[in-house]
Amino acid sequence: MKKLLTTVILTVATFLIANMAFSVQHSILLSIIVLLVTLWTNEALPLGVVSLLPILLFPSFDILSTNATTVNYSKSIIFLFLGGFMIAIATQKTDLHKYIANKLLTLFPNTPRGIIFSLAITSAVLSSLISNTTTALLLIPIAMFLTKDMKLKLRLVLSIAYGASIGGILTPIGTPPNLILLGFMEQHNMEPIAFVQWIVLALPLVVIMLVLIPFVLSLGVNHLKFDTHLEQREHLTSDQRRLLYILGSLIVLLFVNSKIEPYYSGLGINEKGILLGFGLLMFIPKIGFLNWEDTKKIPYEIIFLFGAGFSIAAAFSSTGLANEIANYLLALTHMPVILLILLVASLITFTTEVTSNTALISIALPIIYSLGKAANIDVNLILFVSTICASYAFMLPIATPPNAIAMSSGAVKVKDMATFGLIFNFLGIISITIVALVYWQFYL
């Protein structure tokens, strides 16, 4: 009851404070967001229950209708998750993850710090070329079986989730906000950022974050040992070999399907359909490994969690709260460049914690563009900073798909993610600001 009482106090306080600057409807929306985030963090109610509350609260306070809210719980990305979870369950059922885990231990230093770094780097490299969601779905089941120690397991899973978010900014195709920026620049007749130029710009920041985040995650656990209960198998079983071929085919298809504009247009197949198709393949006799009973292991609360995130994003747009915030921002154009970049980086980073980064950057880019023009600073610079920050959200499971998948593993609690995530958010904001002022402003 104490946790519920704390949640109510914070919610009411948010409404009273917000009502000094925003309309009643906007103040109610902000207080509902605080309510949801607090309940997710202090775990006063189950994750799935909290994630379904927008269906009741948004219509009750005339923010979104019931139909406009519930439609967010059936977005196409949810079917990507379903396919990925089916593949992950098949991997566990065949014990393929144990074989891969053993191989991983022989390739990298068999210490917590060595494996944390290797998982983060592997995740980052993969997510720079294929979806960060897909990367997390493929790697997290492997990390879960490297150790039984929950403290170490938490760090391993987070290293994959955060590595996937970091790697997503390395290339224009790494995450949807990057492509949205390129589309926005084309729409406004701005010179687009070439594929190779993007990599050259983003690489220093990616390297910095891939040093900082694994180092912090490995603090206090380097004395722990990995389990020796994993069987040291020399050969794959027939089921494992068949699944490995299927996973290899999936990864090859995802790579071939990826666009590399303007050099290669990809196959044009929707990635969500690819993952769902391979997930359903797991049920075909003589090919797959699952029966319908196995679907009980799918973490449906994570699907509800994403529905809540999409609903919040829709509420931001439909109520006009995003535009209202923009109007306040435009009054800050007299600030020095360093403070303006810090402000924009902080605002985008913490706002994307409670809304889809794709939805946020779609709303934010026109605002940031106007802000840059009014402040008479390099528009390319501030747009690039905003886009990168949209992918650097480490605190909450609704912030990015990799965070949500980390939660679905059972090794991570929201309060653990929030604790580490707050540190990494600030490290990300500071790193982006420094790189932007020292490097980007001379090459954008």
Label residue 32 by pLDDT band (50, 70, 90). very high
Label residue 233 by pLDDT band (50, 70, 90). low
Phi first, then psi: give them for residue 145, nearest 5 degrees.
-110, 15
What per-residue confidence (pLDDT) applies to 367?
76
For the chain, the farthest-separated pair of C-alpha atoms sits apart, in whole angstroms, at 67
| Structure-model confidence comparison of residues 419 and 369, the more confident one | 419
Residue 433 DSSP SS3: helix
What per-residue confidence (pLDDT) applies to 70?
92
Label residue 430 by pLDDT band (50, 70, 90). very high
Label residue 232 by pLDDT band (50, 70, 90). low
pLDDT digit string, tens, across residues 67-86:
999 998 887 767 877 887 78
What per-residue confidence (pLDDT) applies to 75?
77
Instruction: Report d(CA 395, CA 403) in Å as an integer.
Output: 8
Kindly write down the DSSP assignment for every residue of 1-42, as one continuous string: -HHHHHHHHHHHHHHHHHTTTS-HHHHHHHHHHHHHHHHHHH
Label residue 147 by pLDDT band (50, 70, 90). confident
| Structure-model confidence comparison of residues 430 and 139, the more confident one | 430
Joined tokens for residue 269: 């197949």
Label residue 66 by pLDDT band (50, 70, 90). very high
Cβ neighbours of residue 193 closer than 8 Å, sequence gap 6 or more: 172, 181, 182, 185, 201, 384, 444
pLDDT digit string, tens, across residues 195-224:
778 888 999 999 999 999 999 999 988 777
What per-residue confidence (pLDDT) applies to 129?
62
Q: CB–CB of 160/140 below 8 Å?
A: yes
Please say if the pLDDT value at position 93 is more than 70.
Answer: yes
What per-residue confidence (pLDDT) applies to 64?
92
Name the least confident of 19-23, 49-53, 350-354.
350-354
Label residue 260 by pLDDT band (50, 70, 90). low
What per-residue confidence (pLDDT) applies to 426?
94
Average pLDDT estimate for 385-410 = 86
pTM (predicted TM-score): 0.71
What per-residue confidence (pLDDT) applies to 217?
94
Closest CA to 119 of 99, 147, 139: 139
What per-residue confidence (pLDDT) applies to 434?
94
Average pLDDT estimate for 134-153 = 83
Average pLDDT estimate for 29-39 = 88
The sign of the CA dihedral 337, 423, 175, 304 is negative
Label residue 132 by pLDDT band (50, 70, 90). confident
Average pLDDT estimate for 11-19 = 92
